[in-house]
Amino acid sequence: MKEVQEKLEKLRAEISYHDYRYYVLDNPVISDAQYDALMQELIKLEKQYPELITPDSPSMRIGGQPREGFATLSHRLPMLSLANVMGEEELLDFDRRVRTSLLNEKAEYVVELKVDGLAVSLWYEDGILKRGATRGDGFTGEDITPNLKTIRSIPLRLQKPVPFLEVRGEAYMTKETFLKLNKDRVEVGEPAFANPRNAAAGSLRQLDPAITASRKLNIFIYGLGDYRGIDFATHAQSLNFLKEAGFPVSKDFRLFKDIKEVVEYCRWWEKQRFNLPYTIDGLVVKVNSLVQQKRLGATLKSPRWAIAYKFPAEQAQTKIKDITIKVGRTGVLTPTAILEPVHLAGTTVTRATLHNEDMIKEKDIRVGDKVLVHKAGEIIPEVLEVLKAERRGTEEPFVMPAKCPVCQSKVIRLAEEAARRCTNLTCPARQREGLIHFASRGAMDIAGLGQATIDNLLKTKLISDVADLYCLKFDDLVSLERMGPKSAQNLLAAIEKSKSNPFNRLIFALGIIHVGERASRILAERFGSMERLMKATFEELVAIPEIGPKIAASITAFFDLEQNRQLIAKLARSGVKMGEEPAKKKGEEAKPLLNKTFVVTGTLKNFTRGQVQEIIQKLGGRVTSSVSKNIDYILVGEEPGSKYTKALTLGISVLREDEFLNFIKI
């Protein structure tokens, strides 16, 4: 028993360390596969000895049963909010107020990013995470401990022992995750979230922690709540302590000697903020000295020693010229507003997504309306509101078509969905989008088969479904507009190569509703071949962890359709591999990159970041995110960033993408 206990402790410590390297330092030292193996080992052992499971075990991040509701919880110290200021003048006023209250003493300030998410409190007893709560009304919040445990950057056990520690931070969703989540939601007929903050809040307040886990939230810790057994003189010291204790603290906090420098830093971020991977709505300016903080105190609502410097909201006025409908891969009809071009948050905007008809109705959007637009997640242009006072009576209400605008088939709206779908499986728009998805990078990855070529192939009737791609001949291709013999040859080679893609890619490429890259991987691993996957029953599918009833039902519905089965048979006849790779024995594979460490920077033409990482790992190498003298190569795509410059100064070997391609062909 003692041995098991020791083994468990070792595994937990090891996994926690790798979580920290990956999620906090963004600098992993083992491959995903190695990490998964450790986690599997832990889970297996804990299944055998359930009495030895502890609340800080990394396995607890994925466990957790759905609950009936949330318990409320009293905060040990109230969670105050911040007063806001806008512009330089108001910031200088704040500084004057601070100095007057401090009887003209000088004050240093720490400035932090104000990430737009959801305030939470985490509380640790003897270094172990015991509770996590929402802010609520500031005095009582909701106990969302299991949900917060799914955020991998939150340590379950501190790297510094403290008898009691409460920290506060902002849970958030990156812009990329937000956009992907919304895209998936709209595609399956669920309403889109308005911004990353709502998406983060909605994800954290899920009764089923498995849903929270799937939303990939993140967190920055920005301060202390209540604590015992530690002491600090300044806020900056406390942040450094939090960093050392293993918390994800933003690296962008800065200490300034006077308010002039603070103003400059705020101005700088006003422009730079669009380059961050998450949204910030301002900066937080805090008096650094904790003694001074105490002297300044707080009002009922907010501390007098801190202020939120808010950025002006990025909004613009324009006019809706038209509303058009796009039919997606699963048949969803998405209305889009065509706008009079307007400058907004760094780009010229000409279109705005309207998501679905409910949104149009809710906001009463009409063609010809003057509207206020903004960018959700700083990227996707959206109509915020209609300027109704400016109406002239000539604006026309929009009616969703009852027929598909592309193929004229019937359009249905399922009871539980916000979306309308075209019911015709062979709708040209659906086929086009399906083809684009099939050829895309994460799917079959057919280089040279972009939208324009697909449109050309469809127009000339050379193809009508994805299986037709595999019947294309050289003569067919060279006859196309803008297709020389060289590109025709390359395209044929790329199509040929895609036949032997791993099984998970093929599953994803089929475009089964709800089946994304991750689910495809799980299905490929579990069933191994198309034959077995097609035979899988709903019960077999839902029995797989991470495959819920919605995904399972969608998979069986997909394979129940004769048309889909025929398509798969046609793909198989054309030589597309349907899984069941004879597994190579360990050690047989060539490992030309054994123990080599790579950093990847810039945009790659031939791979996604995930693919590059997969290739490097397969060949024995590692990928890390930060450049140091310990790395062996920097792989450089287009428009490389500061990592490239740093690598040059350190004398790291540089590989361009084409060189890398040659390199891996060895």
Nearer to ligand IVH, 290 or 308 (CB): 308
Of the candidates 606, 653, 651, the residue with the CA atom closest to the CA atom of residue 634: 653
Which DSSP state fits 312? Answer: P
Residues of this chain, 305-364, that bind ligand IVH according to CB under 6 A: 306, 308
Scanning 111-119, 354-362, 496-504, 517-525 for contacts with ligand IVH by CB under 6 A, the matching segment is 111-119
Dihedral pair phi/psi, residue 255, rounded to 5°: -100, 130
Contact flags string 253-292 toward ligand IVH, x per CB under 6 A: -------------------------------x--------
Calpha distance 609→602 (Å, rounded)? 10
| Cβ nearer to ligand IVH, comparing 202 with 303 | 303
Q: Is 114 in the site for ligand IVH (CB under 6 A)?
A: yes
C-beta separation of 581 from 625 below 8 A:
no
Q: Does 643 bind ligand IVH (CB under 6 A)?
A: no
170 or 187: CB nearest ligand IVH: 170
The number of beta carbons lying within 10 Å of the beta carbon of residue 341 is 11
Q: What is the DSSP code (8-state) at residue 514?
A: T
The reply to whether 80 sits near ligand IVH by the rule CB under 6 A is yes
Task: Answer for the pair 57, 12: CB distance below 8 angstroms, yes or no.
Answer: yes
The secondary structure element, H or E, covering residue 361 is: helix 357-363
SS3 assignment, position 623: strand
Helices and strands per DSSP (H, E), number in the chain: 24, 24
> Which of the ranges 79-87, 460-468, 477-485, 586-594 carries the binding residues for ligand IVH, by CB under 6 A?
79-87
154, 148 Cβ separation under 8 angstroms: yes
Q: To the nearest whole angstrom, how small is the minimum distance from the Cβ of residue 193 to ligand IVH? A: 18
Span near ligand IVH by CB under 6 A; candidates 75-83, 236-244, 535-543, 604-612: 75-83
Q: Contact with ligand IVH (CB under 6 A): which of 19, 112, 378, 657? A: 112
Distance spanning both ends of the chain, measured CA to CA:
49
Least Å distance, CB 136 to ligand IVH, is 11
* Cα within 13 Å of Cα(116), Cβ side: 24
Given candidates 11, 39, 107, 115, which one binds ligand IVH under the rule CB under 6 A?
A: 115
Active site residue 114: yes
CA distance 661 to 497: 15
Tokens of 494: 């790329």
Residue count at the site for ligand IVH (CB under 6 A)? 14
Q: Where are the beta strands (DSSP E) in 126-202?
A: 128-134, 140-142, 164-172
Q: Which residue sits closest to ligand IVH, CB atoms considered?
A: 119
Considering beta carbons, is residue 79 or 371 the nearer one to ligand IVH?
A: 79
Q: Closest Cα partner for 183 from 424, 345, 353?
A: 353
Residue 82, interface with ligand IVH (CB under 6 A)?
yes
Binding window for ligand IVH (CB under 6 A); candidates: 109-117, 142-150, 479-487, 527-535: 109-117
User: Considering the complex, what minimum distance in angstroms separates the CB of residue 251 from ligand IVH?
Assistant: 13
Among the listed ranges 42-50, 114-122, 262-270, 341-349, the one in contact with ligand IVH (CB under 6 A) is 114-122
Torsion sign over Cα 115, 120, 121, 124 = negative
Is there a contact between 411 and 403 (Cβ–Cβ < 8 Å)? yes
Beta strands in 94-212 (DSSP E): 109-115, 118-125, 128-134, 140-142, 164-172
Q: Which is nearer to ligand IVH, 168 or 505 (CB)?
A: 168
Nearer to ligand IVH, 187 or 281 (CB): 281
Report how far residue 39's alpha carbon sits from residue 29's, in angstroms, rounded to the nearest whole number.
15
Q: Nearest to residue 533, comparing CAs of 553, 515, 555, 500?
A: 555
Beta-ladder partners of 600: 635
Stretch that binds ligand IVH, among 112-120, 423-431, 527-535, 605-613 (CB under 6 A): 112-120
CB of residue 589 vs ligand IVH: minimum separation in angstroms? 47
The footprint of ligand IVH on residues 390-449 (CB under 6 A) is none
How near is the Cβ of 166 to ligand IVH at its closest, in Å?
13
Q: Which is nearer to ligand IVH, 243 or 326 (CB)?
A: 243
Q: Which residues contact 284 (CB under 8 A, 6 or more apart)?
A: 82, 111, 112, 113, 114, 222, 306, 307, 308, 309
Nearer to ligand IVH, 60 or 113 (CB): 113
Query: Which residue out of 10, 47, 114, 243 is catalytically annotated?
Result: 114
Please select the residue that binds ligand IVH; options are 136, 202, 303, 448, rule is CB under 6 A: 303
* Shortest distance, position 24 Cβ to ligand IVH, whole Å: 17
- State the amino acid at position 565 in one-letter form: R
Q: Which is nearer to ligand IVH, 219 or 371 (CB)?
A: 219
Least distance in angstroms from the C-beta of 212 to ligand IVH:
18
- The minimum distance between CB 120 and ligand IVH, in angstroms, equals 8
By CB under 6 A, the residues from 192 to 251 that bind ligand IVH are: 222-223
Q: Are 446 and 383 in contact (CB under 8 A)?
A: no
Nearer to ligand IVH, 298 or 494 (CB): 298
Nearest distance from C-beta of residue 229 to ligand IVH, angstroms:
22
d(CA 25, CA 624): 10
> Residue 324 Cβ, how far from ligand IVH at the closest point, in Å?
38
- Of 236, 233, 248, 109, nearest to 167 (Cα)? 248
Strands 622-623 and 597-601: parallel
CB–CB of 132/168 below 8 Å? Answer: no
What's the min distance (Å) between Cβ of 378 and ligand IVH? Answer: 16
Amino acid sitting at position 239: L
Q: Which is nearer to ligand IVH, 222 or 508 (CB)?
A: 222
Using the rule CB under 6 A, is 386 a contact of ligand IVH? no
Instruction: Work out which of 19, 56, 170, 657 binds ligand IVH, going by CB under 6 A.
Output: 170
Q: What is the distance between the alpha carbons of residues 252 and 311, in angstroms, rounded to a whole number?
A: 17
Positions marked catalytic:
114
Would you tell me which residues interact with ligand IVH (CB under 6 A)? 80-82, 112, 114-115, 119, 170, 222-223, 284, 303, 306, 308
